[in-house]
Amino acid sequence: MALRRAVEAPDFGHNDLVSDIPRRAVSRTAKLAALPLGFAGRTALGLGKRAVGMATDVISEDIQRRTAEQLFSVLGQLKGGAMKFGQALSVFEAALPEEMAGPYRQALTKLQEAAPPMPVASLHKALAEQLGPDWRDKFAEFDDSPAAAASIGQVHRAVWKLPPARKNAKPKTVAVAVKVQYPGAGDALIADLKQLSRLAGMFKIIQPGMDIKPLLAELRERITEELDYAMEAETQTAFAEAFAGDDEIYVPRVIAAAPKVLVTEWVEGTPLSKIISDGTVKERDEAGRLMATLHFSAPARAGLLHADPHPGNFRMLPDGRLGVIDFGAVARLPGGHPEPIGRLVRLALDGDAQGVADGLREEGFVKQDDEIDAQGLLDFLRPMIEPVAVDKFRFTRSWLRGEATRLSSPRSPAYQLSRKLNLPPSYLLIHRVTLGSIGVLSQLEAEAPYRAILEKWLPGFAPVS
């Protein structure tokens, strides 16, 4: 029996979409190269306004807003590498007011909703190149219609033939997810990353305190890793082994892998997006608890952190476990979460302002030669760690909006202080995952004993009295 289509793919009336990725390289390069030119023009405009007496803070805010609008809009309009790079830069979007981040987020959403499927001929060619000319013999069933699509590949549902346990035995089968990379996606990604490395000056306007170049270098390295599905297979296998037999977290096994095709067990369950929209309070609370458990326990158990906390990458299984998929983006933390995180959170909860300031300076969040008000820094951080200051905490959309407002209002002390802070490259993915996870927990409006989870899994985080 043929597999049912998981999604109805739109009819775009052409079969050359994938081959258009490299063809459009000149257009893509032109759009990306134009970004610094636009920035230069806005800077000149600011100098002109200053010459006629307009206040410096008004000029700075105006230039920052226009720069963010152009940057996020262009990244959102481009497919492939630029789109993935834009998604990774969500750390910047999270720190910006809605009117700045809106165009970027809308463009990404539009792209994701309208992404057409790979032509069937291109799909079969890719499978033959990666799995061999006899690739069809490896499957009992294969659905040519994609079940999901992303920036550099798409996923198909199929049934894989397992080798028989003994001679003449009937072969067993297993339902699988087959992820196939778009032809040309790697070239587009590499070209985009080369162009985006020229944008350090623009990011400096958005967040003056950050050392942008090493941050962009770290992003380039991590994003490029996502092109190698064989590497992703190794990562997923490490996760699966670390959580084998776990009664809370489920990671599907890898069945087969090639550089541009990955075959894993299919995960049935309720998507986290469905739990967010229709789940009961109890279901949402439990999903939130398991998300937090995964976030803090995986580095300790696997030396890895799942770095793409999007609701589409998680399922609630019928037996109550959290199913986790898509291991292309990971942070490698062989020693677990860095001990300074737990120690500094504990010091902040204890009210040790100077200890927090000294620790953040030592880790590179505060530059060595920058003066900073220790108490002001503690006041800036304290509301963020409220979820672990109490036995139980309920994340809510209103709490998140309040924090976003506090941190994004240009005239607030928190905003002014945040612009002095740096983000060390080694903490980039940890920060990105933390922000993303907080966003998901707020969508779930989940209540859980988050402090107890940290006490169990986060190094340096001693019990809070």
Report yes or no on 274 lying in a domain: yes
**Residues 58 and 151 both lie in one domain:** no
Q: Amino acid identity of 345?
A: V
Report yes or no on 88 lying in a domain: yes
Which runs of E-coded beta strand occur in 122-268? 139-142, 148-149, 153-162, 172-181, 249-250, 254-258, 261-265
Summarised one tens digit per residue, pLDDT across range 239-252 is: 999 999 999 999 99
Task: Say if CB 156 and CB 178 are below 8 A apart.
Answer: yes
The owner of tokens 């608890």 is 289
Specify the pLDDT at position 387.
96
Range of the domain at 240: 119-181+228-266
**Residues 311 and 382 both lie in one domain:** yes
Widest CA span of the chain, in angstroms? 89
Q: What is the mean pLDDT of residues 115-128?
A: 87
**434 CB neighbour count, 10 Å cutoff:** 17
Enumerate the β-bridge partners of residue 149.
Answer: 154
**Residues 345 and 409 both lie in one domain:** yes
pTM as predicted: 0.76
Interatomic CA distance for residues 400 and 405, integer angstroms: 9
Enumerate the β-bridge partners of residue 331.
Answer: 305
**7 CB neighbour count, 10 Å cutoff:** 11
Specify the pLDDT at position 374.
95
C-alpha of 402 from chain center: 22
Report yes or no on 15 lying in a domain: no
**Residues 50 and 102 both lie in one domain:** yes
Specify the pLDDT at position 311.
85
Computed over every residue of the chain, the mean pLDDT equals 78
Summarised one tens digit per residue, pLDDT across range 315-347 is: 999 999 999 999 988 999 998 999 999 999 999
Q: What is the mean pLDDT of residues 165-183?
A: 85
For residue 15, what is the DSSP state?
Answer: S
Q: Is the pLDDT of residue 51 over 50?
A: no
**Residues 324 and 352 both lie in one domain:** yes
Summarised one tens digit per residue, pLDDT across range 125-156 is: 999 999 999 999 999 999 999 998 766 889 99
Specify the pLDDT at position 22.
38
Summarised one tens digit per residue, pLDDT across range 364-389 is: 999 888 889 999 999 999 999 999 99
Task: Say if CB 285 and CB 448 are below 8 A apart.
Answer: yes
Report yes or no on 10 lying in a domain: no
13's torsion region: left (phi>0), alpha (psi -120 to 50) or beta? Answer: left
Report yes or no on 436 lying in a domain: yes
**Residues 286 and 330 both lie in one domain:** yes
Q: Is the pLDDT of residue 98 over 60?
A: no
Per-residue confidence at 200, pLDDT binned at 50, 70, 90?
A: low
Summarised one tens digit per residue, pLDDT across range 342-367 is: 999 999 999 999 999 999 999 999 98
Q: What is the mean pLDDT of residues 74-81?
A: 50
**Domains: count for the chain:** 3
**Residues 262 and 275 both lie in one domain:** no
Q: Tell me how far CA of residue 335 lies from CA of 16, 227, 242, in angstroms.
A: 46, 25, 14
**Residues 200 and 281 both lie in one domain:** no
Report yes or no on 240 lying in a domain: yes
Report yes or no on 13 lying in a domain: no
Interatomic CA distance for residues 448 and 181, integer angstroms: 38
Enumerate the β-bridge partners of residue 306.
Answer: 330
Report yes or no on 9 lying in a domain: no
Q: Is the pLDDT of residue 391 over 80?
A: yes
**Residues 311 and 456 both lie in one domain:** yes
Interatomic CA distance for residues 3 and 157, integer angstroms: 8
146: domain CATH number is 3.30.200
**Residues 298 and 382 both lie in one domain:** yes
Task: Say if CB 192 and CB 27 are below 8 A apart.
Answer: no
**Residues 418 and 363 both lie in one domain:** yes
Name 195's Cβ contacts closer than 8 Å, sequence gap at least 6.
28, 29, 32, 33
Interatomic CA distance for residues 10 and 420, integer angstroms: 47
For residue 199, what is the DSSP state?
Answer: G
**Residues 241 and 371 both lie in one domain:** no
